[in-house]
């Protein structure tokens, strides 16, 4: 879950403004001048190990939270949901390792610098545990059963949310998992950032907001009220940091009025 997804980010700062492709003074540590991969410091190998370990943990934890409460592996909605999440995630990680390991390293950061954000992250863990346990119990005890067409639509929305997440990564190489502002970082105003100020959170809202329906559960939608509260709280705290530390963000916020949902907020 930001996993993916399960936390979101300080997502402003464009690599396009740095024009690195024409700057011979900047060379990624894992590439040589002729484009052949090198890794004298072992940074890329360490990053790769971190990615593999976390991916395995995500699969194991999600699988346990879905199938153990259900009491069965005969839960096709969960298998489809895991495929929708994990398969694109693997391809995106492979692409990032090959093309932009620096961005992937930012996505691996976990330690928030702001105390208030650490509290929000801890509360988000409670949400994800509850939100992913309820559909399994719903499956076991038959509390509710979403029809096939609702499940298919929800799966499509979850996939669309992940596609938006990937689109944000392509637009913004500074999309760290934690809230931070780096040197030379610039405000991104193109792509989804021209529509809302925090498009990665919009993607997360689609992904996790419709996950219970994708898993066939109506009761699982109840914890989504907490998800909305957590995202709103994180955005409000994040914007204080961006206005304080990121040059041009205040003007950008005046131009792009909506934070999360176009026409709503």
Domain contains 35? no
Domain contains 9? yes
CATH code of the domain covering residue 159: 1.20.120.1630
Domain contains 262? no
Q: Residue 176's domain spans which residues?
A: 2-26+43-255
Rounded Cα distance, 170 and 167, in Å? 5
What are the CB-based long-range contacts (under 8 Å, 24+) for 183-186? 184/18, 185/12, 185/13, 185/246, 186/12, 186/13, 186/14, 186/17, 186/18, 186/247, 186/248
Domain contains 89? yes
What's residue 15's pLDDT? 42
Domain contains 110? yes
For residue 124, give Cα distances in angstroms to 16, 95, 225, 261, 262.
32, 28, 12, 20, 24
The 3-state DSSP class for residue 236 equals helix
Domain contains 214? yes
Contact of 201 with 8, CB cutoff 8 Å:
yes
174: which residues sit within 8 A by CB, 6+ positions away?
Answer: 10, 11, 12, 13, 14, 15, 106, 182, 185
Around Cβ 33, how many Cβ atoms within 10 Å? 8
Rounded Cα distance, 242 and 128, in Å? 27
What's the domain count of the chain? 1
What's residue 83's pLDDT? 96
Contact of 212 with 157, CB cutoff 8 Å:
no
Rounded Cα distance, 176 and 15, in Å? 13
Residues with pLDDT less than 70, the chain: 1-42, 107, 109-114, 174-184
Domain contains 261? no
φ, ψ of residue 175 in degrees (nearest 5): -75, 80
- Kindly tell me the sign of the dihedral angle through the C-alpha atoms of 244, 104, 193, 214: negative
What's residue 112's pLDDT? 66
What's residue 72's pLDDT? 97
What's residue 238's pLDDT? 87
pTM for this entry = 0.78
Our measurement of the distance from residue 126's CA atom to the centroid of its chain's CA atoms, rounded to an integer in Å, reads 17
The enclosing H or E element of 69 equals: helix 43-70
Domain contains 135? yes
């Amino acid at each position: 879950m930001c996993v993916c997804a399960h936390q979101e980010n300080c997502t402003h700062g464009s690599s396009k403004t740095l024009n690195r492709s024409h700057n011979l003074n900047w060379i990624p540590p894992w590439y040589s001048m002729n484009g052949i991969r090198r890794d004298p410091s072992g940074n890329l190998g360490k990053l790769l190990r971190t990615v593999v370990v976390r991916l395995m943990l995500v699969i194991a934890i999600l699988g346990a939270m879905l199938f153990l409460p259900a009491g069965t592996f005969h839960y096709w909605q969960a298998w489809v949901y895991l495929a929708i999440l994990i398969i694109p995630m693997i391809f995106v990680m492979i692409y990032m390792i090959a093309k932009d390991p620096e961005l992937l390293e930012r996505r691996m950061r976990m330690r928030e610098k702001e105390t208030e954000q650490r509290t929000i992250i801890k509360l988000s863990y409670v949400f994800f545990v509850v939100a992913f346990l309820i559909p399994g119990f719903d499956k076991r005890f038959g509390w509710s059963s979403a029809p096939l067409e609702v499940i298919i639509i929800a799966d499509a929305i979850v996939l669309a949310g992940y596609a938006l997440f990937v689109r944000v990564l392509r637009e913004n190489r500074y999309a760290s998992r934690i809230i931070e502002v780096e040197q030379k970082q610039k405000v991104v105003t193109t792509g989804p950032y021209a529509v809302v100020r925090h498009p990665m959170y919009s993607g997360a809202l689609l992904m996790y907001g419709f996950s219970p329906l994708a898993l066939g559960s109506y009761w699982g939608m109840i914890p989504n009220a907490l998800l909305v509260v957590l995202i709103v709280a994180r955005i409000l705290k994040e914007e204080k940091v961006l206005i304080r530390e990121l040059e041009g963000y205040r003007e950008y916020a005046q131009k792009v009025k909506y934070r999360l949902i176009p026409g709503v907020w």
